[in-house]
Structure 1
Amino acid sequence: MITTQKQIQSDRPKVPPPIIKRYLDYLFVECGLAGSTVSSYQRDLCRFWDTVNDLGLTASELGVDVVRQHLSRLRDEGLSVSSIARHLTSIRMLLRYLFSEKIILKDIVSLLDSPKKWRLVPDTLNYRDVHHILEAPEENAEFYPRDKAILELLYATGMRVSELVDLTLSRINFNVGYVRVIGKGRKERIVPVGSTALAATRNYIETQRKELARDESTEAVFLSRTGRPIDRSAVWRIVRKYTQHADVRKKVSPHTLRHSFATHLLQGGADLRVVQELLGHTDVSTTQIYTHVDDSRLKAVHRKFHPRQ
């Protein structure tokens, strides 16, 4: 197997933030773990801290929901259950250390079960909250066209954040109204796009993208300030920023919008197999995690269809 330079770089541990560095020193010096083992923990925990930073949190604010957000992110990136379980082991050990050092005040390790028992998805949003987030960008803001298009497309298509940042101009069909999404395993799927998201995307491409694109050969739809393709962490920060602007008091990630996309389709009567195809799931059992409904909807369905009330 040929190992690419990109793969080599991704396997190298990042420089850890101070609090992680302190913990790694503890593992190496006081616990006597081998350097290779400590490096493995460093890789896992630096990825976890990326999520913590993207959510705008500090160590003292860590909780179960943050860990689940991170595991959901790993799953969205295509990691296997066994790999996610390894990450969880690293995180559990860190949290136990932080609790012993009184950096976090609640021992949450016992609340973190095996990911095999979890539905690794964030909480869904109701449509009102989604609407407030999508309308949060102000037209006079510096990156309004781009940020508006990103938010609208995430909710309109249910794309993974990795699929959004990889989206190219040639994969958008404005005439018919769809995008060709390249998902896991390089599998392609066609996803319809509503008129609102299409209009926002067209506006961005015809205005701000032209200003950002310093290299005319760049095919990526969404660009950063420097003209390079935007990365996943930047999209997380954009979603978090407008969630705060909308005064939605939940921890919302790009995957939350994907989750809400699927949930709202099913609540509106969409067929499970159709939602499976739109999400790019190989197995329908993966899509079934989106079939949860709230108690009020269950009661309404029961009243409508049960023969005896």
Structure 2
Amino acid sequence: MADLPEPMAQALAAYERHLVSERDLTPHTVRAYLSDVWSALEHAAALGHEDLTALDVRTLRSWLAKQQTTGRARTTLARRSTAVRVFTAWAARTGLIATDPGARLASPKAHRTLPGALDRDEARRLLEEAAERCADGSPVGLRDAAVLELLYATGMRVGELVGADVDDVDRERRLVRVLGKGRKERVVPFGRPAEQALDRWLASGRPRLVADGSGPALFLGARGGRLDQRAVRTLVHRRLEDVPGAPDLGPHGLRHTAATHLLEGGADLRTVQELLGHASLATTQIYTHVSGDRLRAAYRMAHPRA
């Protein structure tokens, strides 16, 4: 990233300290916020502004307009405008600027795309194929089967999965403690197939991959370190190649699949929201589109003129 004028750079550094020490955000989230804010400040500097006091809503709108002309997606624009509004609100609170220009900055409405998901037969085939591949007892095969079972059973994010430790799993009660976005903790149940896959991995797979640097990580890579997110994404894509007709989904696709099957099985939105760790019920509602067949079936059964 190009250098900002010194007053802007100092403000951005102070904002970084605020995000880390006061809001206790994850390093990934901090980087995302800073990148979006830096983009707006860099645009303001290119227009001749030297510090935050010259930042106004007109400058912020021209920044968004410039990104739109370069083909940025609506979701990206919405995220960036939110990040800048949070920044300008902080700057106004701390006295760096007299008024908050971000308060007048509207966010482009993001188009909601329908999440891809496997049907029940495709999910079953995926997990059966994974189980067959670990029949030889190889530690990597046992790990992969446990990873896929747990992703589908819990709907957890891939970052949550690779961040889990052995002690986070309560095998007796079939529960896993998950540290989600914003460091929010939740407890998610899993079923017997996932329990059996985890038992095989922990008893026969993990001990053969443990190395000096393994620590308490639940899932390990081939060299004994904590399993990497990229390795999980590669695993899911490759195993889905074994399922005829299945869409090419990543780990997030298994999260969509878990949510979809929970709703189709009769779970209510609030329960699914809690299981997935969504801050807003509106996020969970995007999955309701896939339950049209269930809705029609309920209508036929319940309505006297169906």
1:230 corresponding residue in structure 2:
227
Residue equivalent to 2:143: 146
1:218 aligned residue: 215
Q: 1:118 aligns with which of 112, 121, 129?
A: 112
Q: Do the aligned partners of 1:85 and 1:115 also contact (CA within 8 Å) in 2? A: no
Equivalent positions of 1:56-71 (< 5 A) are: none
Residue 146 of structure 1 and its aligned partner are, at CA, apart by 0.2
Unaligned regions of 5+ residues in structure 1, if any? 12-33, 38-66, 72-78, 87-113
Matches of 1:80 and 1:175, distance apart in 2: 46
| SS of alignment partner, residue 129 of structure 2 | coil
2:233 is equivalent to residue 240 of structure 1: no
1:248 and 1:115, CA in 2 relative to 1: closer, same or farther beyond 3 A? farther
Secondary structure, aligned partner of 2:297 = helix
Measured at CA, do residues 216 and 256 of structure 1 come closer, stay the same or move farther in structure 2, by a change above 3 Å? same
* Counterpart amino acid of residue 183 in structure 1: G
Alpha-carbon RMSD? 3.3
Q: CA deviation at 1:125?
A: 1.3
* TM-score (structure 2 length as normaliser): 0.64
Q: 1:227 to 1:245 in 2, by over 3 A?
A: same
Partner residue, 2:256: 259
Question: How far apart are residue 290 of structure 1 and its match?
Answer: 1.2
2:87 alignment partner in structure 1: none
Identity level (%)? 40
Residue 132, structure 1, aligned to residue 130, structure 2: no
Asked if structure 1 preserves the Cα contact closer than 8 Å seen for 2:122 and 2:246, the reply is no
Q: Which runs of 5+ in 2 are unaligned?
A: 1-15, 32-42, 47-71, 84-107
The structure whose Rg is larger is 2
Aligned partner of 2:112: which letter? W
Q: Distance in 1 between matches of 2:77 and 2:224?
A: 33
- Superimposed CA distance per residue, residues 283-308 of structure 1 (whole angstroms, 9 cap, x where no aligned partner): 11111111113554333222111121
Q: Residue 186 of structure 1 aligns with which residue?
A: 183
Whole-Å Cα distance in 2 between the matches of residues 181 and 127 of structure 1? Answer: 25
- Among candidates 79, 89, 93, match of residue 82 of structure 1: 79
**Helix, strand or coil at the partner of 2:178:** strand
Equivalent residue number for residue 174 of structure 1 = 171
How many residues align? The count is: 220
Q: What amino acid sits opposite 2:259 in the alignment?
A: A
In 1, the alpha carbon distance for the partners of 2:118 and 2:208 equals 34
Partner of 1:297: 294
- Post-superposition Cα deviations, 1:165-207, rounded to whole Å, max 9, x if no partner, equal 0000110001111000010111111111111101101110111
Question: What is the one-letter code of the residue matched to 1:247?
Answer: P
Distance 1:81 1:226, change over 3 A: farther
Comparing 291-300 with 148-157, greater Cα deviation is found at: 291-300
Q: 1:242 to 1:207 in 2, by over 3 A?
A: same
Residue 249 of structure 1 deviates from its aligned partner by 3.3
> Structure 1 stretches (4+) deviating beyond 2 angstroms?
1-4, 83-86, 246-249, 293-299
The counterpart of 1:268, out of the listed 265, 268, 277, is 265
SS at match of 2:207: helix
- Give yes or no for the alignment of 1:199 onto 2:196: yes
Superposition pairs for residues 102-113 of structure 1, below 5 Å? none
Secondary structure of the equivalent of 1:256?
helix
- The within-5 A match list for 1:2-13 is 2=17
Give 3-state SS (helix, strand or coil) of 2:144's partner: helix
- Residues in 1 aligned to 2:127 and 2:109: alpha-carbon distance in whole angstroms: 31
Superimposed CA distance per residue, residues 11-34 of structure 1 (whole angstroms, 9 cap, x where no aligned partner): 6xxxxxxxxxxxxxxxxxxxxxx9
Quick one: distance in 2 between partners of 1:226 and 1:217? 9
